[in-house]
Amino acid sequence: MTDRILVFYGSYRSDRAGIRLADYVVRTLDAQGADAELIDAKAVDLPMLDRMYKEYPAGEAPPPMEALANKIRGADGFVFVTGEYNWGVQPGLKNLTDHFLEEWFWRPAGIVSYSAGRLGGAHANLAWRGTLAEMGMVVISSTVTVGQIGKTLDDTGTPIGDAGKSFERAFGRFADDLRWWVEAGRRQREHRSPPF
């Protein structure tokens, strides 16, 4: 069975360096046999959170929200590609994820963070762990931080130089970890329904 993995990206900036990282994640997971899809918060463009998906009567949620809820429910796992804003999470990505809750339950999630600086979005990476766990996901232990993204990936999302080689090794381990949890989660759901 093919692993269905949604890759979420949340920058709304006009010069989005992180999109090259999100594209790399999708391409690489696809090359490993997964069915990965990019969910770009800017393209989905949900409004600032007023009502969660579950707060709409059945069939009355805005069409983009309904479509995304169906994709989330149908996924086996998630990757969150996040930049860091002032030691915190990207507001666009946080807004998108907060529109949903039960749709996320009982699936693994991994975090790949980046920044223009050397810390690679580590503060946002850490902040997302608690948020995703609270939303019902199992956050895998492997993580990837990409510092100096412009020296790690070129404009097409191709790894470059020593930083790119190091990133590829780290992402390989991360992807293996994620896919292990995706398979474990699928087997468990086939064996036993989630407790709630």
* Domains detected in the chain: 4-191 (3.40.50.360)
Report whether 163 contacts 148 (CB < 8 A): yes
What stretches of the chain adopt beta strand conformation (E)? Answer: 4-9, 35-40, 77-82, 108-114, 138-139, 144-146
pTM over 0.85: yes
Model pLDDT for residues 105-117, shown as the tens digit of each residue? 999 999 999 999 8
- Per residue in 152-194, pLDDT (tens digit) is 999 999 999 999 999 999 999 999 999 999 999 999 999 998 8
